[in-house]
Amino acid sequence: MPTLSDTLARAARLRDLFEAEGAMVVDPPVLQPAVTLLDLYGEDIRARAYVTSDALRGEQMLRPDFTVPVVQMHMKGGAEPARYTYAGEVFRRQENDPDRANEYIQVGYEVFDRTDPAAADAEVFALIAGTLKGLPVRAVTGDIGVLMAAVQGLQTTQARKRALMRHIWRPRRFRNLLERFAGRAPVPATRSALLAGQAQTDAPLIGLRSAREIEARIAALQEDAAAPPIAAGQVDLIEALLDVRETMPYALSRLHDLAVDMPQIADAVAGVTAREAALQARGVDTDALVFEASFGRATMEYYDGFVFGFRAEARADLPAIASGGRYDAMTQALGQGSAIPAVGGVMRPGLMLELEGQA
Amino acid sequence: MTIKLGVPSKGRLMEKTFEWFGARGITLLRTGSDREYAGAVEGIDGVSLVLLSAGEIPRELAAGRLHLGVTGTDLVREKLALWDQTVEPMAELGFGHADLILAVPRAWIDVDTLDDLDAAAASFRAAHGFRMRIATKYHRLVRDFLKSGGVADYALVDSQGATEGTVANETAEAIADITSSGETLRANHLKVLSDGLILNSQATLWRSRKAPMTDQERVTLKELTDRLL
């Protein structure tokens, strides 16, 4: 295992490298207000981050990542375009795997730039790939924006699309919803009774959820029951899209084929093509680069476009050595009315040293 | 040195545990005054009784300060990460039955499953500007359960007692708590979701996988478990 001082030295070198690329060095505080992170990620973050508190400031979290504070800082009046780099500890609660570190050094690079998203994606990926040169790692890329476009283009009600969009990052729940909206899942008896107007209660209404809200939900369910199921062909297309897992040239040809039947994804696929060109311009061998349409969906992160990860080839036990992606929606959520396209990535110098030690 | 057996220090759980051991020829008893938490074991040598709160027994087993302990499945699963690597269930004792369940107001005729709860939570957040609150003291178990059920837009609020009252008091919209008969739920106008059973719990005899033992203690533990099981 590398020592902490070796890891810190490597982290400083990586940060210097990004600084030389024009990034501004930032140093957000370790303690972050819990309310921001809870708003963004929901209750799941409590299983991943350490929470502490005091009587004055209330609940705070030991930063589980740098992205949120960096975005907040930028949205409060950063220059535009902007590039940032940082290095420091992050803290992740581990409740199921004693071998996973709960505190480690992370180095990151974040780009806020409206001009050319494909170029910004390629810039982040290529710089990080450069720092990993020579290490036995394998890159996987994906694009959550393609799946989102496919969902938005479904021929069905807005309510169903909203429900599916809300669960893009929960693959199992997403699949269950899709099955239900396609009329392939059995309707629970209680739901049938409710729709038939047979559900009654003599119980008094308690709590904050009002009678109006209950009525509105019943009306929404009735509307949904009256709407035709999503056509089987459309569900198959979404599933075919999620199965795409090839090197970039083959993946793109699959995506172009799918776009013939799903014209709604054409723009997003054009974005993948533009990114391929931008990656090539940065010297990335895209012929060997893997593209997985469902990559990045199971992470808690807020990625909604390009996603990537680097994993150690012979060490499936190790977490990703580096990872990142595009998070335009997060800048909107934290921007209080404003938004800016943003993409970034993080590296773990400790794991890089560990892999070098084995080589 | 002796085998240390941890038993809940008061109430029905203690009495029932004493009965269960008594039926197997091992007499557990409290010694000293009514108020003194001291106890003794008769019918076998080399075993000592430790009386403590049922909620602390998982921690003491995990730390290896108890060799055996009687407490509920709910407390072990909530308090110990990787519980099955830390303790081993030896016997279910057939009492202290309690289910950890998720309940909502009975007046919510549109909510019967986790799927409904998730949809209701989404519109609740849109209407009220904050996440639907679920009151509980079983944070880990409830969070894992809701995560695997794909429920989003909720927040857990801590409630260490009178949890069924939180909805009427408008400090929560739903609850997750232990129930034995369901009467308290009904009295508080709540119903259990049809797929809202989080855990079946009952009083269980656990063996610590972490407690160090001498050869003599190993022999004692074997003799004790042979007679109990």
| Tens digit of each residue's pLDDT (9 = 90 or more) over A282-341 | 999 999 999 999 998 877 668 999 999 999 998 888 999 999 999 998 898 888 888 999
A3 falls in which pLDDT band (50, 70, 90)?
very high
Q: Are residues A226 and A268 in the same domain?
A: no
How far is A200 from chain B, CA to nearest CA, in Å?
7
How far is B31 from chain A, CA to nearest CA, in Å?
40
CA distance A347 to A132: 9
Q: Are residues A317 and A249 in the same domain?
A: yes
Q: Are residues A111 and A190 in the same domain?
A: no
The structural domains of chain B, with segments of one domain joined by +, span 3-97+202-228, 98-201
pLDDT score of A359 more than 60: no
Give the pLDDT confidence score for residue B214 in this predicted structure.
94
Give the pLDDT confidence score for residue A78 in this predicted structure.
82
Number of domains comprising chain A: 2
Q: Are residues A283 and A350 in the same domain?
A: yes
Do B155 and A95 make contact, defined as CB atoms within 8 angstroms?
Answer: no
Mean pLDDT for A10-37 is 96
3 state SS of A139: strand
Q: Are residues A291 and A247 in the same domain?
A: yes
Distances (CA, A) of B170 to A35, A210, B6, B188: 20, 12, 39, 13
Give the pLDDT confidence score for residue A300 in this predicted structure.
60
CA distance A14 to A312: 19
What is the percent of chain A with per-residue pLDDT over 70, rounded to a whole number? 99
Name the burial class of residue A56, with classes exposed (0-12), middle (13-18) and buried (19+) by CB atoms within 10 angstroms of its CB.
Answer: exposed
| Tens digit of each residue's pLDDT (9 = 90 or more) over B15-40 | 999 999 999 999 999 887 777 778 89
Mean pLDDT for A248-271 is 97
CA distance B8 to B206: 13
Do B98-201 and B3-97+202-228 fall under one CATH topology? Answer: yes
CA distance B169 to B174: 11
| Tens digit of each residue's pLDDT (9 = 90 or more) over A107-163 | 999 999 999 999 999 999 999 999 999 999 999 999 999 999 999 999 999 999 999
3 state SS of B105: strand
Q: Are residues A192 and A270 in the same domain?
A: no
CA distance B211 to B217: 11
Do B108 and A214 make contact, defined as CB atoms within 8 angstroms?
Answer: yes
Q: Are residues A89 and A186 in the same domain?
A: no
| Tens digit of each residue's pLDDT (9 = 90 or more) over B194-223 | 999 999 999 999 999 999 999 999 999 999
CATH number for the domain spanning A71: value is 3.30.930.10
Q: Are residues A190 and A279 in the same domain?
A: no
* Residue A146 · residue A273 · CB < 8 Å: no
Q: Are residues A163 and A93 in the same domain?
A: no
Q: Are residues A78 and A173 in the same domain?
A: no
Residue numbering of the annotated binding site of A = 65-67, 92, 106, 110, 297, 302-303
3 state SS of A322: strand
Q: Are residues A16 and A104 in the same domain?
A: yes
Q: Which amino acid is at B79?
A: K
Q: Which amino acid is at A231?
A: A
Nearest to A199 among B109, B140, B194 (CB): B109
Residues of the domain holding A191: 157-200+208-230
Domain B98-201 class?
alpha beta
CATH number for the domain formed by residue range(s) B3-97+202-228: 3.40.190.10
B8 falls in which pLDDT band (50, 70, 90)?
very high
Mean pLDDT for A263-279 is 97
* Residue A200 · residue B162 · CB < 8 Å: no
Q: Are residues A103 and A179 in the same domain?
A: no
Query: Which residues are A141's β-sheet partners?
Result: A291, A308
pLDDT score of A166 more than 80: yes
Whether ipTM > 0.85 holds is yes
- For B23, phi then psi, to 5°, come to -65, -15
Nearest to B123 among A38, A201, A213 (CB): A213
Sign of the Cα torsion B43, B47, B48, B51 reads negative
Do B189 and A204 make contact, defined as CB atoms within 8 angstroms?
Answer: yes
